[in-house]
Structure 1
């Protein structure tokens, strides 16, 4: 049986290294930094950043009010308090308050995504801009943040909500919500509907061309239904082509041809399996970190001549299982391994 060295990396602490490298596990990573100037005092700095002296002292582990010129201070973000409600998941809370999952995780030092409790209090970064505002990422400070613009579209003959969603690369449920519709809603020729255009800037570090994208706000729009991509297994470096054909919580995909299915089967030691492997997806000019299992399942399939009955799962950062809406820990670990590959 083919060895999977990346599993040893996880067990030996490589996972922790990957988390620190990515910045998602470092509490306070999104705080502001301020260099003390001549004449500064803590109360002046607190007033400038609309925080308190006690919060600055706590963030910097200060035991007195004494500061020195040139000293670097961490300025804590303003936060609001939020109590978890029934049905809440982190991506929904982040979307509601116009922030990111990473910021909420860092601010609250969350380690177990599947154990959030109803009534649990979270600190949420306070936004200075309404979450309903739509602002393109044009400055360097916001260049890595996805943004969305809304357009009006006129329904054409033969179109449905599903085909329009596919045309614009957005989930069907997102289209329905934007237009206050249900799955049984009927569209008429000439009807005006709202569509969302998601812009996801490239996110790479100086040492890697691999992007580690959040499924809910980034990856599902970079890799929408209907997209063909080259998939590469991190351990063996073998590549084949797949197409995302469906899926909401993660990307349900199918091998493009019989030859692609055969390569995938070979990578999984000659048999399709639920075992997960770190993989990279080449989507246009972008390389995305992901995790995949190869087991064909479900009666839903769109490619009929590929010797593969059904579809298989591809997961990204924070994507979840279809059956219970929870994170799959094995997939999330493998994604982190893929994200730390320096190519």
Structure 2
């Protein structure tokens, strides 16, 4: 009897176990897709897993859309300063006034200090090892001053990895009032036999003349032979006082002619009443040549004296013309010579140019009996120091002050 009862219990337990197993198998079958391969094997793919994956993909897509929508187009913003005008700002960025007005939906050119102007999209440059503002400006065909302004840099120092906005290549600060077809490529020249004036880098180049940039080792005689002209024709065309040449100096050369060409002028720059033209160094270097005598007026004291330009390739090296001029210059500095930068106006040949003066006598002396043992410096827009070929931020600030900015 006991054996019969035990057998019945075993059978019941077995039936219950088999029933549960069949139930679990049915549930798993409902949750899975059974895919048969050609070799008869099966691949099980969980419906829940597929659903979870699709849900995750939808979430990721939504996140991506949200990121795209939240990433605005980044453009430079310029904060207007006292003395700014649209032509000046546009020239810094290498764009036209019309582009600037359109970007800011302006109907008039009126702007006021503190206004913020949107600038059209510009190219970015990531600073690399050994980059300097000078090298970037030279490669870009712009100026250090323009790079500093568009990037709102207080100093000239930049660091590896910095991001800089680059002014458009078609523009340059050199000619704020010039047309948009200016070409700043120093290697281009007017073709020989040209019969019309050509605008190049801000210069108006007469017919029959080439704009040549002096290279190291050049002499006036060698340049004259190269272009089929004479040394005197070159000197008279450029109103030169001496035969001294400096690398990168702009020189207008008559082509296949011994006749000098007259009437060439440095480009005009819009000025603030009572101040000087913020004339680029290339133009100031040509307009106020070595060997010339200019009147230097200190803006702060109002005192003036005569200065003789010795030379200088990166900025002008000068001496007071006479001992009386030396006495006036020394009084401007309070009776003691100093490297301190001062805003001055340089008046020469009908033009008044914004400049910065450093008053410490240094280096060699060329003018006798003027009680000044050495020379002093005059800096102009984008001129550079001799020692490192870099702009001096303090001198550039004084140039802007002398221009009324």
- TM-score norm. by structure 1 comes to 0.61
Matched, 1:302 2:366: yes
Residues 28/327 of structure 1: CA separation in 2 closer, same or farther (3 Å cut): closer
Counterpart mapping for 1:187-336 below 5 A:
200-205=266-271, 207-208=273-274, 210-215=276-281, 217-298=282-363, 300-336=364-400
1:63-114 deviations in whole A, cap 9, x for unaligned?
Answer: xxxxxxx979x996685555556665545544544445555445x4241442
Q: Secondary structure at the match of 1:114?
A: coil
Report if the CA contact (8 A) 1:289-1:316 is conserved.
yes
Residues 272/144 of structure 1: CA separation in 2 closer, same or farther (3 Å cut): same
Report if the CA contact (8 A) 1:273-1:295 is conserved.
yes
Q: CA deviation at 1:198?
A: 8.3
Residues 130/273 of structure 1: CA separation in 2 closer, same or farther (3 Å cut): closer
Q: CA deviation at 1:325?
A: 3.2
- TM-score norm. by structure 2 comes to 0.53
Residues 119/249 of structure 1: CA separation in 2 closer, same or farther (3 Å cut): farther
Greater Rg over alpha carbons, structure: 2
Once residues 329 and 211 of structure 2 are traced to their aligned partners in structure 1, the CA distance between those partners, rounded to angstroms, is: 39
1:126-165 deviations in whole A, cap 9, x for unaligned?
Answer: 43768243469969xx799236733650399999xxxxx9
1:176-228 deviations in whole A, cap 9, x for unaligned?
Answer: xxxxxxxxxxxxxxxxxxxxx9852121337456201222x222222222221
Residue in 2 that maps onto 1:188: none
Once residues 139 and 243 of structure 2 are traced to their aligned partners in structure 1, the CA distance between those partners, rounded to angstroms, is: 22
Residue in 1 that maps onto 2:156: 114
Once residues 202 and 336 of structure 1 are traced to their aligned partners in structure 2, the CA distance between those partners, rounded to angstroms, is: 16
Report if the CA contact (8 A) 1:250-1:315 is conserved.
yes
Q: CA deviation at 1:301?
A: 1.6
Residues 172/242 of structure 1: CA separation in 2 closer, same or farther (3 Å cut): same
Q: Secondary structure at the match of 1:325?
A: coil
Residue in 2 that maps onto 1:154: 225
Report if the CA contact (8 A) 1:212-1:288 is conserved.
yes
Counterpart mapping for 1:117-128 below 5 A:
117=159, 120=162, 122-127=165-170
Q: CA deviation at 1:239?
A: 1.1
Report if the CA contact (8 A) 1:33-1:75 is conserved.
no
Q: Secondary structure at the match of 1:280?
A: strand
Once residues 167 and 383 of structure 2 are traced to their aligned partners in structure 1, the CA distance between those partners, rounded to angstroms, is: 21
Q: CA deviation at 1:173?
A: 2.3
Residue in 2 that maps onto 1:145: 202
Residues 146/30 of structure 1: CA separation in 2 closer, same or farther (3 Å cut): same
Once residues 35 and 230 of structure 1 are traced to their aligned partners in structure 2, the CA distance between those partners, rounded to angstroms, is: 38
Residues 123/295 of structure 1: CA separation in 2 closer, same or farther (3 Å cut): closer
Q: Secondary structure at the match of 1:249?
A: coil
Residue in 2 that maps onto 1:172: 246
Once residues 274 and 77 of structure 1 are traced to their aligned partners in structure 2, the CA distance between those partners, rounded to angstroms, is: 41
Once residues 321 and 328 of structure 1 are traced to their aligned partners in structure 2, the CA distance between those partners, rounded to angstroms, is: 7
Count of paired positions: 274
Once residues 330 and 114 of structure 1 are traced to their aligned partners in structure 2, the CA distance between those partners, rounded to angstroms, is: 10
Residues 21/225 of structure 1: CA separation in 2 closer, same or farther (3 Å cut): farther
Q: Secondary structure at the match of 2:309?
A: strand
Residues 301/158 of structure 1: CA separation in 2 closer, same or farther (3 Å cut): farther
